[in-house]
Amino acid sequence: MRAAPATAMLLQVAFFLQCIALTLGQYDICKSLVSTDDGPIWEYYACQPKPASMKDYMRIRVDPPGITCGDPPERFCTLENPYLCSDECDASSPDLAHPPQLMQDRERSGLITYWQTVTWSRYPEPLLANISLAWNKSLELTDDIQITFEYGRPTIMVLDKSLDNGRTWQPYQFYADDCMDAFGMPPKKVSDLSATNVTRVICTEQYSRWVGSKNDKNVRFEVRARFAIFAGPKLLNMDNLYTRMESMKGLRDFFTFTNLRLRLLRPALGGTYVQRENLRKYFYAISNIDVPARCKCNLHAGQCTFVDGNLQCECEHNTTGQDCGRCKRGFRAKSWRPGSYLPTPNGSPNTCAAAGSTRGNCECYGHSNRCSYIDFLNIVTCVSCKHNTRGQNCQHCRLGYFRNASAELDDESVCIECNCNQIGSIHDRCNETGYCQCKDGSGGPKCEDCLPGYYWKQGCFPNVCDDELLLCQNGGTCNQNQKCLCTPEFRGVLCEQVRCEGGDCDAACTSYLSIATLLLCLLANQLAQLTAY
Ligand SMILES: *[C@@H]1O[C@H](CO)[C@@H](O)[C@H](O)[C@H]1NC(C)=O
Ligand SMILES: *[C@@H]1O[C@H](CO)[C@@H](O)[C@H](O)[C@H]1NC(C)=O
Ligand SMILES: *[C@@H]1O[C@H](CO)[C@@H](O)[C@H](O)[C@H]1NC(C)=O
Ligand SMILES: *[C@@H]1O[C@H](CO)[C@@H](O)[C@H](O)[C@H]1NC(C)=O
Ligand SMILES: *[C@@H]1O[C@H](CO)[C@@H](O)[C@H](O)[C@H]1NC(C)=O
Ligand SMILES: *[C@@H]1O[C@H](CO)[C@@H](O)[C@H](O)[C@H]1NC(C)=O
Ligand SMILES: [Ca+2]
């Protein structure tokens, strides 16, 4: 009788190992030396790092500040026996403290260690806590995320993910004991999903109901069950999953993340109602967060290492970057592409190629991967040059762009936009050093300034008056180089004319004019004409 469970367990272990072997056996080497008639040569394959326990590398942050219990020390009760309130949380005592890192430690001694929050003493104000997990690296889930709650699972919570190191977030899965009530979403299970909607974000009630705390402490984000939709219930047909990863839009990204966040919105209640008289039994406590995943290296690395506190792909195929997302310098004869799982079982490495090594010897400096033969010119030319390049070999910059002097010809940032000021310049083209051609009166590399003697008003116009040569006369003041503000007795561009009253003005005026004013008037006129050229 005692043998049966043991056998079952052995079988389970065997099955588990088989699964691991299956998931590990594929795409685990990037290259191998094969012998040919011409001697040994390297053969390259699509490759990816092994799955790892990513909890060892995550940076945890909990919010709001002060949510962790123990400062000041606090007593708390359990849900099963609310009158037994002998437990204490005290941040200053190592034995009684419950800091966040206890969610990622390894419990070697068998003693369960956990992070714990303050109790819900401020009820009915909600008890909210965020747990943010950061890796500073794109990762791909390889198995279920599992969060272990001591003292009951939350009745409402959201799992979010970010693909851009926490700049933007999106919900990954909603959890509630009543999905409709909490989120207005009908409750679903992953088993309700099919190949067409496997990437749908669902709300599930499976992990939020009260079942007696000892019964089930885990909340999962089901990865295995989603894989099984393609790979079969025992994940034996991984080829099919990998084929779908290549062909189904959004499938790979669905399992990809750089950060995760748990938003805890309501703790376990242990019943239908919150008992106001005993709020010390409501809190969150998490003993472990498992995140089985692999580094995303775009199928260009078989290893991922932890260097200076960050995960880093050990890029092969002459790629580089944290995720092997670029070709190395000097290997940009073709545009970078991720490796492909297809054709199975070894995939395509899509290696980066050294300049001059592409077929037909049509060099496109990595700005195009297509060449075309033009019959009547008898030349091979690059097609659809990217990165604002143009030319037979994508060796020139498009009009409106100029050559980045500090970049190699195969650099993605080899062409810089001219960025000519639309009003100040004649057109949007520039010379090799980025200088635009300016209209009269405007200047500066981009024609964004007015030359001396000009003022800005939707363009550069010659000054009407200034403080040097075009002085306003007779007490007038120069307003923004645009006009003289004359005193009431004078008028004219530079206030050089006397304003007259009455009918016989003209005669009076002429006789009134002094020689000096006349001379100044003439001078101003001439100056205005001179500067206009
Ligand atoms: C948790 O994160 C969400 C999203 O950024 C934010 O709106 C909320 O205020 C945070 N809650 C706490 C308790 O910090
Ligand atoms: C994130 O990783 C990159 C690349 O490894 C590194 O340059 C950067 O400093 C890291 N950022 C933090 C906050 O550790
Ligand atoms: C997914 O699609 C299946 C049928 O293809 C449907 O029965 C199921 O309700 C859908 N699930 C969700 C969550 O929309
Ligand atoms: C990468 O470049 C090196 C030379 O630096 C070469 O020996 C090697 O074969 C290249 N690897 C691939 C995958 O092209
Ligand atoms: C010019 O190229 C260098 C080297 O790639 C790059 O760091 C720089 O950002 C580029 N300049 C511009 C304006 O794009
Ligand atoms: C570009 O124009 C600027 C300003 O006219 C000039 O100083 C520079 O020498 C020109 N550069 C080239 C390469 O022609
Ligand atoms: Ca722990």
User: Is the pLDDT assigned to residue 364 strictly greater than 90?
Assistant: no
* Ligand 6 pocket, residue 37 CB under 6 Å: no
From the CA of 102, how far away is ligand 7's center (Å)? 4
Which ligand neighbours the alpha carbon of 434 most closely?
6
User: Which one is predicted more confidently, 370 or 428?
Assistant: 428
Spatial CA neighbour of 388 closest among 422, 430, 442, 340? 430
Confirm if 281 and 269 have CB atoms less than 8 A apart. Answer: no
From the CA of 416, how far away is ligand 5's center (Å)? 8
User: Which one is predicted more confidently, 418 or 8?
Assistant: 418
pLDDT in tens, 24-63: 458 999 999 998 888 899 999 999 999 999 999 999 999 9
For the chain, what percent of residues have pLDDT higher than 90?
A: 68
Beta bridge partners of 517: none
Mean pLDDT of 481-486: 92
pLDDT score recorded for residue 512:
46
> Which residues touch 359 (CB under 8 Å, ≥6 apart)?
none
Mean pLDDT of 406-425: 92
From the CA of 317, how far away is ligand 4's center (Å)? 7
pLDDT score recorded for residue 96:
95
Task: Point out the least confidently predicted range of 139-153, 387-401, 423-437, 504-518.
Answer: 504-518
pLDDT in tens, 104-113: 999 988 899 9
User: Is the pLDDT assigned to residue 339 strictly greater than 90?
Assistant: yes
pLDDT in tens, 3-21: 444 444 444 444 444 444 4
Which ligand neighbours the alpha carbon of 169 most closely?
1
Tell me the two tokens of residue 299: 């199928």
* Ligand 5 pocket, residue 406 CB under 6 Å: yes
From the CA of 105, how far away is ligand 7's center (Å)? 5
Closest residue by CA, ligand 5 atom 13: 416
Mean pLDDT of 480-500: 90
Mean pLDDT of 270-278: 88
* Ligand 2 pocket, residue 431 CB under 6 Å: no
Range with the largest mean pLDDT of 175-184, 323-332, 359-368, 402-411: 175-184
Task: Point out the least confidently predicted range of 160-174, 183-197, 399-413.
Answer: 399-413
From the CA of 112, how far away is ligand 7's center (Å)? 6
pLDDT score recorded for residue 330:
78
From the CA of 455, how far away is ligand 2's center (Å)? 48
Name the residue of 179, 191, 192 whose CB sits within 8 Å of the most ligand 3 atoms, as the mutation to test its pocket.
192
Indicate the DSSP class of residue 83. T
* Ligand 3 pocket, residue 202 CB under 6 Å: yes
pLDDT score recorded for residue 511:
42
pLDDT score recorded for residue 7:
47
Q: Pocket residues for ligand 4 (CB within 6 Å)?
A: 42, 44, 317-318, 351
d(CA 434, CA 472): 40
Closest residue by CA, ligand 4 atom 14: 317
pLDDT score recorded for residue 519:
53
From the CA of 355, how far away is ligand 4's center (Å)? 12
Task: Point out the least confidently predicted range of 67-71, 263-267, 476-480.
Answer: 476-480
Confirm if 412 and 392 have CB atoms less than 8 A apart. Answer: no
For the chain, what percent of residues have pLDDT higher than 70?
A: 87
Mean pLDDT of 168-185: 97
Confirm if 447 and 438 have CB atoms less than 8 A apart. Answer: yes
Which ligand neighbours the alpha carbon of 115 most closely?
7
* Ligand 5 pocket, residue 405 CB under 6 Å: no
450: three-class secondary structure by DSSP: strand
Which ligand neighbours the alpha carbon of 289 most closely?
7
Mean pLDDT for all residues in the chain: 87
From the CA of 98, how far away is ligand 7's center (Å)? 10
pLDDT score recorded for residue 162:
98
pLDDT in tens, 184-208: 999 999 999 999 999 999 999 999 9
Name the residue of 318, 319, 346, 350 whose CB sits within 8 Å of the most ligand 4 atoms, as the mutation to test its pocket.
318
Helix axes 224-231, 238-247, angle to 10 degrees: 100
Name the residue of 194, 199, 200, 203 whose CB sits within 8 Å of the most ligand 3 atoms, as the mutation to test its pocket.
194
pLDDT score recorded for residue 476:
92
From the CA of 431, how far away is ligand 6's center (Å)? 6
d(CA 377, CA 372): 11
Which ligand neighbours the alpha carbon of 319 most closely?
4
User: Which one is predicted more confidently, 528 or 96?
Assistant: 96
According to the 3-state scheme, what is the secondary structure of 241-274?
Answer: HHHHHHHCCCHHHHCEEEEEEEEEEECCCCCCCC
d(CA 440, CA 533): 9
User: Is the pLDDT assigned to residue 516 strictly greater than 60?
Assistant: no
Q: What angle do CA 105, 109, 111 make, to 5 degrees?
A: 75
pLDDT score recorded for residue 517:
53
User: Which one is predicted more confidently, 374 or 222?
Assistant: 222
pLDDT score recorded for residue 323:
96
Confidence band, pLDDT 50/70/90 cuts, at residue 355: low
Confidence band, pLDDT 50/70/90 cuts, at residue 527: low
Which ligand neighbours the alpha carbon of 410 most closely?
5
* Ligand 3 pocket, residue 193 CB under 6 Å: yes
From the CA of 310, how far away is ligand 2's center (Å)? 7
pLDDT score recorded for residue 295:
98
According to the 3-state scheme, what is the secondary structure of 88-153?
Answer: EECCCCCCCCCCHHHHCCCCCCCCCCCEEECCCCCCCCCCCEEEEEEEEEEEEECCCEEEEECCCC
Q: Which residues surround ligand 7, an ion (CB under 5 A)?
A: 102, 105, 113, 287-288
Mean pLDDT of 60-89: 91
User: Is the pLDDT assigned to residue 1 strictly greater than 60?
Assistant: no
Mean pLDDT of 94-123: 94
pTM over 0.75: no
Confirm if 362 and 382 have CB atoms less than 8 A apart. Answer: yes
* Ligand 5 pocket, residue 413 CB under 6 Å: yes
158: three-class secondary structure by DSSP: strand
> Which residues touch 143 (CB under 8 Å, ≥6 apart)?
51, 223, 224, 292
User: Which one is predicted more confidently, 527 or 198?
Assistant: 198
Task: Point out the least confidently predicted range of 71-80, 261-270, 355-364.
Answer: 355-364
Mean pLDDT of 425-448: 94
From the CA of 97, how far away is ligand 7's center (Å)? 12
User: Is the pLDDT assigned to residue 464 strictly greater than 50?
Assistant: yes
* Ligand 2 pocket, residue 287 CB under 6 Å: no
Phi, psi for 100 (deg, rounded to 5)? -55, -35
pLDDT in tens, 236-259: 999 999 999 999 999 999 999 999
